[in-house]
């Protein structure tokens, strides 16, 4: 589905793409969980449909009974400044929670609680940052090759994240990190994974052959989706 909404940030109309699984029409009384799936800095709300092949990935997983049926909401993450800057990420977070989530929860039969909301994506770390800063609203966080090569700082992105591992582990049902083995960001991921291990932050790290490219993102999404919403409904 292509939906239009008025952005309170930009004071203009913007589009969001929403994938609805076949079970949505087959079971008209059922409510579904939602994955908010973000593109990278050079893409738009159509990237995950055109190049990420979201419908094919989910429907293949559903046919093999390997995933929970879910809506996938694919917004345009470029709100004002670039989504790879902190200013841009903050602006997108406001639009996500002020405009996009309410649109979805008003117009679709979805479970409107944190246990049934996930966020993931690639490029610049917006899914990582928005997800970990809003664990009162989201319980499942994934990132696919999501950190800039230079100048990326965990404390800046998520202040105080390492101070209370027990609280983080209690709130996060899944913390998924992924990267292509040939991506310049790969070594940064290894260093960050070591930080999480030393601080006892529960997480999963997945590798995929390739660079910062769609074949890697598709592969990581196909590994991420079967893990979502298990035991939350």
Q: What is the mean pLDDT of residues 176-194?
A: 92
pLDDT at 81 over 70: no
Chain center to CA of 224: 10
CB count, 10 Å around CB of 162?
16
Q: Give percent above pLDDT 70 in the chain.
A: 95
Q: What stretches of the chain show up as alpha helix (H) in DSSP?
A: 23-26, 47-50, 54-63, 86-95, 101-107, 126-133, 154-157, 165-171, 186-198, 214-224
151 and 171 in contact (C-beta within 8 Å)?
A: no
Collapsing DSSP to helix, strand or coil, 161 comes out as coil
Residue given tokens 């770390």 in the structure block: 125
The per-residue pLDDT of the chain, averaged, comes to 92
Q: What does the pLDDT look like over 145-158, one tens digit per residue?
A: 876 555 678 888 89
Span 200-229, pLDDT tens digits: 999 999 999 999 999 999 999 999 999 999
Q: What pLDDT is attached to residue 233?
A: 47
Model confidence at 134: pLDDT above 70: yes
Q: How far apart are CA 55 and CA 48, in angstroms?
A: 9
Q: What is the mean pLDDT of residues 28-45?
A: 92
Lowest mean pLDDT among 114-128, 131-145, 216-230: 114-128
Out of 23-37, 43-57, 93-107, 140-154, which region has the weakest mean confidence (pLDDT)? 140-154
At 193 the pLDDT is 93
């Amino acid at each position: 589905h292509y939906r239009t909404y008025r952005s309170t940030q930009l004071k203009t109309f913007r589009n969001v793409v929403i994938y609805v699984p076949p079970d949505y029409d087959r079971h008209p009384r059922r409510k579904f969980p939602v994955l908010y799936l973000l593109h990278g800095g050079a893409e738009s709300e159509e990237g995950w449909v055109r190049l990420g092949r979201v419908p094919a990935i989910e429907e293949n997983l559903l046919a093999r009974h390997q995933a929970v049926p879910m809506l996938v909401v694919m917004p345009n993450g470029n709100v004002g400044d670039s989504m790879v800057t902190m200013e841009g990420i903050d602006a997108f977070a406001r639009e996500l929670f002020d405009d996009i989530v309410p649109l979805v929860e008003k117009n679709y039969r979805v479970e409107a609680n944190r246990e049934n909301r996930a966020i993931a994506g690639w490029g610049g770390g917006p899914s990582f940052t928005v997800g970990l800063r809003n664990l009162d609203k989201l319980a499942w966080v994934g990132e696919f090759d999501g950190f800039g090569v230079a100048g990326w700082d965990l404390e800046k992105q998520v202040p105080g994240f390492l101070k209370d591992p027990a609280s983080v582990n209690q709130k996060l049902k899944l913390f998924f990190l992924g990267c292509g083995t040939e991506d310049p960001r790969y070594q940064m991921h290894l260093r960050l994974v070591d930080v999480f291990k030393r601080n006892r932050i529960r997480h999963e790290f997945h590798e995929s052959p390739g660079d910062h490219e769609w074949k890697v993102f598709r592969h990581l999404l196909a590994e991420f989706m079967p893990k979502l919403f298990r035991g939350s409904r």
